Amino acid sequence: MAGISLSRVWKRFGSVDVIRDVSLDIEPGELVVFLGPSGSGKTTLLRMIAGLESIDKGTLLIDGVRSEGLAPGRRNVAMVFQNYALYPHMTVAENMAFGLRNIRVAPDVIDQRIAEAARMLEMEALLNRRPSQLSGGQRQRVAIGRAIVKEPKAFLFDEPLSNLDAALRARTRVELAELHQRLQATMIYVTHDQVEAMTLADRIVILNNCRIEQVGTPIEVYTRPASRFVATFVGSPAMNILPVAVSGAGDRLNARLTDGSLVELRGAPTDMDWRELGVRPESLTVVAKGGETSATATVVERLGERTLIYARLADGTQVTAQDRGITSVEPGSTIQLEFDTAGLHLFAADGSAWHASE
């Protein structure tokens, strides 16, 4: 296990900055997920750690050793790519052994490492097959096994599940979480899939516009997003963001929605220029009567254990609310909506955020 530390690193392609002044400390044995939209810089940052992209400014420490000037092979990290990158003419065992043979590891050590990795990944029966004889999930496991046999200081995963179908992604995601628990190895995992991030990560690094927006545990970034971007990017369906006018004094403020409805806020600072109210669908629920506002249901999405209601307020504002799994709501129904005061968020003009859970 090795810690990884980035200090004020920059990367530029031509005149375009793709990583801007990023600093991050990753603890030994930690699984950190880089999460962000396309173009946010997450894969570039991973490749900078691997040595596949140079670091223009700043420092990189791997296990306490200055590494930004080291060749990729001397950093002792293993990268698992999105496209598997297996040699089609080699068997599974030969693919896993190839890198070790190149650095002249003893044959008996290679055999031992391959056997242990195959047992760990439950693919002993696949060792004599070629990639063309494997499913997508099996090929991905071979790529992971090839990384394991190197016994690296850190594993770097670049969207390794993106080529798998939905069911296989879910199963392989669980396998990766179990693998991390067994190895207790330092891992960095790049994805744009927030379900993968929330499932796998000890901490999530949210990247946007080539900078870090927030670093925190999955629960922290979900319940206490540091910015409006994080609030809308993390969570499916996305957080409702509603324009409001905030008024009041003391520890009691009111947020007036654009349809005229009032939502009570408790404990929000009074000295900020609050512009928007954020509420996740699970904190905006359908009630029989007494809600803060009413809406017209447009789409009813039945998910079994819960129902998502896509609705329109009186002024046309779109919201997503939640109801119980067995619901009587139908498209076109008028519904009452109640705001959970413990699940409210405020966003100011300057980007500041306040969360009722604070």
Task: Give me the pLDDT at residue 250, please.
Answer: 67
**pLDDT tier, 358 (very low <50, low <70, confident <90, very high otherwise):** low
> Rounded mean pLDDT of 174-185?
87
199-246: pLDDT as tens digits: 999 999 999 999 999 999 999 999 999 999 999 999 989 999 999 999
- The pLDDT of 177-192, averaged and rounded, is 91
The model scores a pTM over 0.95: no
Tens digits of residue pLDDT in 289-320: 888 999 999 999 999 999 999 999 999 999 99
The DSSP symbol for 128 reads T
Domain 237-355 carries which CATH code? 2.40.50.140
Mean pLDDT of the chain: 91
As annotated, the residues of the chain forming the CATH 2.40.50.140 domain(s) are 237-355
pLDDT of residue 136: 84
**pLDDT tens per residue, range 69-118:** 999 989 999 999 888 789 999 999 999 999 899 888 999 999 999 998 89
Amino acid at site 9: V
Across residues 181-196, what is the average pLDDT?
91
Phi-psi region of 230 (alpha: psi -120 to 50; beta: other; left: phi over 0): alpha
CATH superfamily of 4-232: P-loop containing nucleotide triphosphate hydrolases (3.40.50.300)
Portions of the chain given CATH number 3.40.50.300: 4-232
- Under the banding of pLDDT at 50, 70 and 90, the label for residue 271 is confident
